[in-house]
Structures are given as structure tokens and as C-alpha cells.
Structure 1
Amino acid sequence: AAQQARPASFYGGWWFFAFPVAAAAHYPFPFFVRGDDVSFSLANDFRIATLNGVVSFQEDFTEKESPQTLYLDLRHGLVHHLVFDSLERSALGTAKIPVRYMLRSLLRCKYESAEAQLMAWQDVMQGPQFFDAHIDMTARRAAIAALIRDEAWQDVPAAGPGERRLFSRLPRRLRYYFGLVTLNGHLIPFWSRTGDRLVLDIEARGLVPPAFGGARLTYLNTARSKGYTVTHSKRRFFSLAWRMARSLLAWQRGHSRLRAAYRKGYGEMTSRSYWEKTLAPPAPPPGSPAPDTSPPAAAASAR
């Protein structure tokens, strides 16, 4: 496995990852979660080898997906494209990532997810100092939690949600192009009344085509014991699309400056001195007694 060609984005996940400390030229970037292991591997010149028989069983990422995880995923991906030569793209090439992420959410009526993804894009555009100011993510987690109303798992009633299928019965290719051309009904008047009512299993949760034709989408978890329902809203769709377009314009204008800031800030914020300063205990308030630093034996004899 060690001899196989590795893509530029190959990394070692924190679950099973041992590395020589002396070979680490960069400490992790303060992403808080999601992306710190990717960043650490890309920044350091490790030759990563996989071991046969070493596995990790985790909960399905599809079921764990939420506006908060989508926020974190988009945020670290954008930073990596700004920092690393191996992942460098043009301003527009990089902007296609958040635009695609948001469109995937918008076409599935997941407006809260799209809102969180837009927040991630705008946070990255604040520069590397944003990560230093929000190192524990307390404020951002609260802001994202405040967004979530529809996309939260709830117990499914015994009767279960009902379905009404018409457009979703179209032949697969026709249904696919119908969904794209109409932006899944967002260009059709009165779609909230005429669109289908669909119930989708966990396998379809992360996919766009199964949502095409639907104006009310109910997603169920693996056990079909919990679910949530999102509904079509032209107002929310076009409001988010307009804000996305404005963010795209700001990104295009500031991309060169932003890339330079991240390349400089990344080196500073992955240094030992940065983490020693960040993790140092706070200074005691003025006038408080100095902490007892004498050895335990000396302190006991003094008493």
C-alpha cells in the first residue's frame, strides 16, 4: 500500500494515525473539528502507509450530517484550497465548491443547511484571524443551532408521513432534467401546492436526484424511527441565492488578498509558539496571591 500513487489530498485520519513527532514541521490548524487531521497531513511531509487489518467502525456519516457538519466541512475545504499549492485553484474554481454545496442544499429545500454553508463561506472570507477569535467555536455553534428548526430529527408518528407522487414518477432521465431546468420547482408557480410529497430513506439523504419533483420532503433515519420534513419556499430559495451571488462577487474581488493572508497566517497559527500562547493558563487578576510553586515536601515542612 505504501508504494501506491497517492492523490494530493491523501491524509491520515486521527482515528488510527501515528507519526514521528520530530518530523512534524507544523502543528494542527485551529479548525476545532473537521479538517484538522486533513490539514495536519497536508502541511507535513509524511509518507503515509496504510496497515492491512486496521479498521475503524463509525456511525454512518450520512446520518450524522447536519447544518453544523456541513458548515465545518465547507470551511476547512476552502482553507485548504487557499493554503496548499497542491490544491490551488483559480478564484472561480475555488468558488465553485461553496456554490455547488449550497445548490445541492437549496434544490432539496434544505434552506437551513444552505444558510450554514453560506455562513462558512463568509467566515472564511474574514481571514485566518477568524479562526483565532473563534477557536472554541462556542459562538458559531450557538448561531448554527439557532438556525435549525426543520432539519432536526424528530420521532416519527406511528401512522408515518403520507406520500403523493406524480412528477417523481417520470422516467428517471426526464425527471432529472425536469429537476435541473426548474430548479426543482422553484421556477414553477404554486409548486408548494402541486409538487410531490416524498418520503426518502437514509440512502437518499445526501443525494439530489431523489428529491426532484418534491415540494415536501420527509427524510427518515436508518431505523425509520426518526425523521424531519422540509418544504418548498421560493422566498427562502431566492433570498439565499441572492446572498450567495453577493458572496461570490466579494470572493472574486478579494481572492488574491485572502490567499496571501491565509498562507501567512497558516504558518503562524500552526507553530509551537502559537499553541503555547493559546493554551497558556490565563494570568491571575491583579492583587491575587501568587500560586505556590514550591515542591510538595517543602510546602509540607513549612506547615
Structure 2
Amino acid sequence: MSDLTLTEIWPFSSPLKEHYGYQFLYFFGEEMVYFPQENEIYAPKNKTLSFRTYMNAFPIKKWKDHTNVKDFFIRCNYKGGGGNLLIFGETKQKRILLDTFQLPESDEEISVTHKISDIYNKDILMLSCEILCREDSYIKNVSYFTSENKLRSLNTGIVITTYNRQADLINAIESILPAIRDSQSKLFIINNGNEITIPFESDKIHIIDNLNLGGSGGFARGLYELIHEKNQFTHALFMDDDAYSHPSSLKKSMTFLEYCADDNASIAGAMLYSGTPYLQYELGATNTLYGIKSINQNHDMGYFENTIKNELSDSPIFGPWWYFIFPIKKHIVPPFPFFVRGDDVAFSLQNDFNIITLSSVSAWQPSFEYKISAPTEYLANRSFLMLPILDEGKHWDCKKVIAGFSQHIRREIDGYRYPIAEAMLAALEDIMIGNSFWSDERNTLARLARLKQMEKQNSEISQLHRASPTDHNQIGRKCGRVWYKLQLTLPLFARLKFRTPGISYNMWPQPIEAAARKGMIYVSQADGYEIACRFNSKWANDLLKREKILRGLYEKKFSEMRTYYKNNFHSLQSWETWNTKFLQGDK
């Protein structure tokens, strides 16, 4: 039999030890005790141990829809008084008891396997199980198996791009190292920064020094190395250096792809916040009028209904590079050479992967919200404006994109976030320049420097009251949100009279609330990071005038730009061009 997925008793490797206190992501039950040395759970007499959790529910509908597997077995490893193991089918609205069988008493560790019946109910999305303990028991794990043969074997190369974040990098490596050691996988660390040393001795870890070509350049170099290895890899996994993942994510991903009927299938992992490991940043993203929109953002995965919502959601349009495993096709298109934000979107669209999400396949990463600034928003918006050009209208329409862009920039202006509005206009200006801009990466560096200086010179944060970071703990944030809602019940003149800055616990611009204020403070729910802004009528009017002029130029030049980019970017994005960059950058 082939092991499909190992139930995660508990996070056993660093940095997942940080998850202590969040056992509800893995299991729950009254008076349960976890023993880390033995990696087992003590379940007292007459108590129920449940694996109806984000990490341990089994996405059976995805397996039935995408693989050749027709039979499923469940296996429990334990010792002690035994009990009854109950298998449930999870639907959109209820649980269905599918099967139950007895676990016999045993003083030694034993393994009991049972074939799961009634799995073809079309409404069943996931499987979950519970153990009703007759006597004290020690549960080692619960696994799902099949007797079907695999359709293919995987040889996966893992690529992590890093730039001067050695501590984060070590955490990322350590989190997936057990999975690497137990498979044919190899890890390629693309070092864009200073010299690094890692405390791991393994012939499966390779460090490759690279010129700082950004995230796209690092991942392109890693993919290039995988393609040109003598024993060619079948799949690649891209991971950020400040992300960490469960070892089981790699195992579950690879096993699923080994059985998957479509050889173009890929797995995109969800992102959860490392600071609050139960909070999902997003399952992925889909396209909107302008840019992309997160799927199931800020969902608390401690509530099982949110795991069900993930299963019911549409697939994302791209694989995010905090965790994305994909097939290395014969004519794979390398990453776009000029993005620093949005590289993963263009890469997925240009290679047309069949992207699938699996429950619990995820990575934990710091919130992106603390990275919000004029330079980063310039890079993000430049990529979003380029996507409809490179995508040739498959997912975005030119007029709808520029209309969405205009709506977005006006919300930023009305929300007093002028530096971000400046960055968006700069992105629009640079895209319309053409080859003279893209042919020299120093143009981007110069633009980023000017935006950073502009943001610094025009910062008025110090003139606004700002809550201290300690005010934004979990209780403080809840109280702040209650006070914020109470303020909204006051009439407009009352809020203007007090002249207190508005507080938004959403990092999107809030133009309606800003209209009643002289200033706004935007607070991240994930980590308490703040952006403070002040009203400036002259700056706002100037931005609105420029936006109107640039929008007209973009619409007028769009067909010309699409023709230009189609004729010129193949060479700029080719492996030959990338190889020249790599050779120049070898240290």
C-alpha cells in the first residue's frame, strides 16, 4: 500500500515549535497530553481525540476529482486500551458518519488498517476521524493509504532564493529538511547576497552564489540549475527564504502529483502568518478588474468551517512563490526579468499550469503589510499594469484594467495615502516609456531611490497621534475596533470637531472615513504595523490631474505597447538572456 498522507500529531521541528499553544490546528480533545520526545498523544479513558482540524482533515474530493485512486484505507498506530475509530465525511453543511471500527487493546505499539466505505457520496469534501478511547491510550499517528499504483515518480528540486536573511533561511531549511532526507529531493539555495553558512551537512543541499537579480533572478537561476542537472528533475518547488513549511506539505504535494491524472498539475500552498499561525493570509488569489484579489483572506483556521470554505473555493490563477510545486515542462518559460513583485503571477500565466490547492499544504510567513511603502507599491503596480499586456487579454481587458487602476489610485488619494498614489503613477509612466526604460535595470533602481526620498521628505507621521505597539495586542485590537465602530455612529460634524485621526484595522484605503478626518492611521490586524497619513489638498489635486492625463495616454498607447512588448520581450525573457546575466553574476 502507498501512504497518501501522514496525520500530523504535532509540529516536531523548528521553527514549528512556535506553534505550541495552537494545538487546535492539529488535534483537540479534553485532557489530551502531547509528549514531544515520543511524538505521541496521551488520550485518557472515556475521552475523545479528534483530528477534525486544518492540518489533519483529508481532502478526499480533490483526490477523487484529480487522481486515479479508487480505494482508501485508514491506519492507526497506537498502544493501550484502544477504543473506536470513527470516520466522518465532511460536507458543506454537515458531518456524515461513514464508518467505525474497533481498535483492540494492546500493551505494545500496533498498527490497525481498515478500508473506508461509502466514500463515493458526491457531497463529501473531506474526511476526518475521531478516536473514542475505552481506556488510556497513546496515539502515534493516523494515516490514509491506497492500494492503487502511482502514475509517475517525482524527482523534485527545491529552490529557495535568499538575500541577507540567514536566520530566516535556516528556519526555512530546517522546517522541510526531514522531508528532503526521506525523499529523492534536493535543495538549491540561490544566494543573491553576502556569503552564508548553514549548520547542516547534507549532499542534498547546494548553495549557488548569484548576482542580486531580485526574486525573479534567484528563482530563474534555481530553475536553470534544475533543468541542466544530469539527472533531470521532474518538478520544482519554489519557496521564499522567510517562509517555513511543514515537512508533510512536501510529502503530501509530491504524493498527490504522483497519482494525478494531469501531468501539468501543480500545487499552490496557502500562506498563514508566522506571528499568528492560525490566521490564513490567503489561500491564493484570483484576477479582478485591476490586479488580483486574495481568496479567503484573514480566515481563522482554528474554525473547521474555514477549512471547508477553502475546499469549496475556486483555484487561484497563479502559484505564489512562498510555496509552489510545478512540473518542469520541455519549453518552460522563465520568470519575467524585471518584476520584483508579481513575478509569480506572470510566471504561472505564461506557463499555463493547472493549479490545485490541498488542505494543510501551506507556508507560514511574516505579514506583507509591514512591507507597504512607495517603492514596494511601485513594483507591485508596475507588474499588475504589465500583466494584461503580457497576458494578451486572456484574463484582463485593457479598458477595464485602466478603469480599475483609476478607481484604486483615487481611493489611495481619498484615503490620504499620497506616497502610494505617487508610486502608482510612476509605475504607469515607466511602462509607457518602452525599451529605453527596460533595457537598463539602473532605471528601476533610480526610480526606487527617488520614491524612497519622496516618501521620507513628505512623511507627516510624527504629527499624528500613534498608538504604541503594545496597544495593538489581541485584546487592544478588539477594543480598538469596537471604539472605531462606535465613532462611526457619530454624525459627521462631531467627528470633524474632535479632529482625531481615524483608525482602520484594514490596510486598504478608507476614503469615506478619511473624509471626516484630517488624518488616518491604518493598522495591520496581523502584526499591529501602522501607516499614518495626513490630508494635503495641494498634493491630492496634483495627483488627480496627473492620473487623468496618464490614463488617457495609457489607453491611447495600449495597442502600440502590446505590439512592442510582444515583439521585444521574447529575447529579454529568454534563457539565453538569463544565462548571460548568471555568468556575469557568478561570484
| CA distance in 2: counterparts of 1:22 and 1:224, whole angstroms | 39
Deviates more, 1:214-223 or 1:229-238: 214-223
94 and 157 in structure 1: CA distance in 2 versus 1, 3 angstrom threshold: closer
Which structure 2 residues correspond to residues 95-110 of structure 1 after superposition, within 5 A?
Answer: 95-110=402-417
Task: Choose 135-144 or 28-37, whichever is displaced more.
Answer: 135-144
Q: Deviations along 1:18-76, whole A, 9 cap, x unmatched?
A: 23333443111123411111111100132223333221122223333222222122111
Partner of 2:381: 74
Q: Report how far residue 260 of structure 1 moved.
A: 1.1
- 1:93 corresponds to 2:395: no
2: CA distance, partners of 1:23 / 1:137:
32
Q: In the alignment, what sits opposite 1:198?
A: 501
Partner of 2:430: 123
Match of 2:258 in 1: none
Matched-pair identity in %? 24
- Cα distance in 2 for residues equivalent to 1:66 and 1:87: 27
Residue deviations 1:75-95, cap 9 Å, x none? Answer: 1111111121312413x3221
Question: How many Å apart are 1:109 and its aligned residue?
Answer: 1.0
Q: 1:11 aligns with which of 290, 299, 318?
A: 318
Correspondences of 1:211-222 after superposition (within 5 Å): 211-220=514-523
Q: Hey, what does 1:277 align to over in structure 2?
A: 580
SS in 2 for 1:265: helix
8 Å Cα contact 1:105-1:113 kept in structure 2: yes
Partner amino acid, structure 1, of 2:562: R
TM-score with structure 2 setting the length = 0.39
Alignment RMSD: 3.7
Counterpart secondary structure, 2:329:
helix
Task: Pick the structure with more strand per residue.
Answer: 2
Structure 1's unaligned 5+ residue stretches are 179-192, 283-303
- Measured against aligned partners, the alpha-carbon deviations of 1:94-116 in whole angstroms (never above 9, x if no partner) come to 21132122111100111111111
Instruction: Tell me which amino acid in the other structure corresponds to 2:354.
Output: R
1:175-206 per-position Cα deviation (integer Å, ceiling 9, x unaligned):
7xx9xxxxxxxxxxxxxx968422415x2331
* Corresponding residue of 2:535: 232
* 2:363 pairs with 1:56: yes
- The partner residue of 1:140 within 442, 447, 468 is 447
Structure 2 residue ranges without an equivalent (≥5): 1-61, 67-284, 288-315, 472-482
Deviates further, 266-275 or 36-45: 266-275
Deviation string 1:220-269 (CA, Å, 9 cap, x unpaired) is 45599764532211111111111111111211221110111122233222
- Aligned with 2:519: secondary structure? strand
Do structure 1's residue 43 and structure 2's residue 345 form an aligned pair? no
Question: Does the 8 Å CA contact 1:98/1:121 hold for their aligned counterparts?
Answer: no
CA distance in 2, matches of 1:93, 1:239: 24
The DSSP-based 3-state class of the residue aligned with 1:252 is helix
Q: What SS does structure 1 have at the residue aligned with 2:337?
A: coil
CA gap of 1:19–1:169, structure 2 versus 1, over 3 A, is closer
What letter matches 1:58 in structure 2?
Q
Which residue of structure 2 lines up, in the alignment, with residue 267 of structure 1?
Answer: 570
C-alpha contact 1:28 1:36 (8 A) present in aligned 2: yes
Which whole-Å CA distance do the structure 2 matches of 1:133 and 1:125 have between them?
15
2:438 is paired with a residue whose SS is helix
Change (3 A) 1:266 1:88: farther
* 133-142 or 109-118, larger mean C-alpha shift: 133-142
Shift of 1:214: 1.3
Change (3 A) 1:16 1:271: same
Moved more, 62-71 or 238-247: 62-71
TM-score relative to the length of structure 1: 0.71
Q: Distance in 1 between matches of 2:530 and 2:381?
A: 24
Change (3 A) 1:256 1:194: farther
Separation in 2 of the partners of 1:125 and 1:131?
10
Alpha carbons of structure 1 residues 169 and 221: separation in structure 2 relative to 1, 3 Å: closer
Return closer, same or farther for 1:278/1:223 CA change in 2, 3 Å cut-off.
Answer: closer
d(CA) in 2 for partners of 1:7, 1:200:
28
- May I ask how many residue pairs the two structures share in their alignment? 258
Counterpart amino acid of 1:248? R
CA distance in 1, matches of 2:461, 2:324: 33
Instruction: State the SS of the aligned residue for 1:22.
Output: coil
CA distance in 1, matches of 2:570, 2:526: 45
Matched, 1:243 2:546: yes
The structure carrying a bigger helix percent of its residues is 1
